[in-house]
Amino acid sequence: MASGSAGYLHGQAISPPPVHGGLAVADLVDSAFLAYNAGRLRDACHLFSRKMLEPGCTVGMSLTGALTPAGLGMSTIIPLLEAGFVDWIVSTGANLYHDAHFGLGMAMHRGSPFADDVELREHGVVRIYDIVFDYHVLLDTDTFFREISRLPEFQRPMSTAEYHYRIGRYVLEREKALGLERKSILGVAHRCGVPLYTSSPGDSSIGMNVAALALTGSQLRFDVSADVNETAAIVLDAKRSGGQSAVLIAGGGSPKNFVLQTEPQIQEVLGIDERGHDYFLQITDARADTGGLSGATPAEAVSWGKVDPEKLPDAVVCYLDTTVALPILATYALARHAPRPLRRLYDRRGALMERLQAEHAAARGTPVTA
């Protein structure tokens, strides 16, 4: 061994045992995922299960890309919610809209990415890469959202978390009537008290249907300022309660920024003393060198105050397809970590906002107003 090289050669020697048909997913990750992106996924599994899921750490998740049409809501995200492994979510509206199909008893099917789309259109079939479904799934889901959103309880401005929570109750009722169970993130999040936010509520079929109702006098409006402040309040409370804040980012885009901007909102805008999220875990296929947010690294996030610089060594980015990496990450965590008590952050929104308002007032040197 060359002089001075020992300090670089302290990692696990690469000498994995052969894989076999009875190998569990978690054991496969630990024994065979040793280098390259497999190595980063192993790092992600360890970070998530050993640090992010420890008591006192609040986990926020962002969801981007057509994950729910591919079944990841049922297979992966719902088990994470029920195990208490995800405490709050920022999602594209599209993921929640397509999630509703399953809770309403509608079907999506595996298809071919090479289908003739002109022919599909002629036969009333919609395609999302290799997923296909009947056009009436869209029409019937639109009808559901419009009928529920017309009800008196929706005739006022509200945060997207409140809207999704209220919608979730009706999805649960429909599941019960159809003899279904655990099909929809909206329904399970309602049951578990997990707040679901949408960073761009007008950019989905849910927002399109709400906009259509506004043309006929509906008073329902999405209060995006409430979304910004409620998510900041969740993060501030995680820190002020003696705990930590972690972000699990599936994809990138607007939901990634929204879950991360909570810290700049606290520090830069509200003037409250804070240092950034403690743990950053992202699964993405985007590159950093294009300047797009989806590929922005945790080191770059430090410069914005989004990530605590002292915790940067714990940050992990996996350059993988989310549909591959997320089920493996979830399976590993469920195998290696016991379920956590549900935080039910939705139920605590009022108290969390009171803390945020008090600290903002103190930072400004002004009394708290009702």
Q: Does 51 participate in catalysis according to the annotation?
A: no
> Which member of 183, 256, 306, 311 is catalytic?
306
- CA atoms of 340 and 333, how far apart (whole Å): 11
- CA atoms of 252 and 348, how far apart (whole Å): 28
- CA atoms of 233 and 353, how far apart (whole Å): 6
Number of other CB atoms surrounding residue 15 within 10 Å: 6
DSSP codes, 113-136: TTS-HHHHHHTTEEEETTEEEEHH
Contact 316, 43 (CB under 8 A): yes
Contact 96, 196 (CB under 8 A): yes
Contact 60, 87 (CB under 8 A): yes
Q: At what angle do helices 253-260 and 224-240 cross, to 10 degrees?
A: 50
> Catalytic site residues?
306
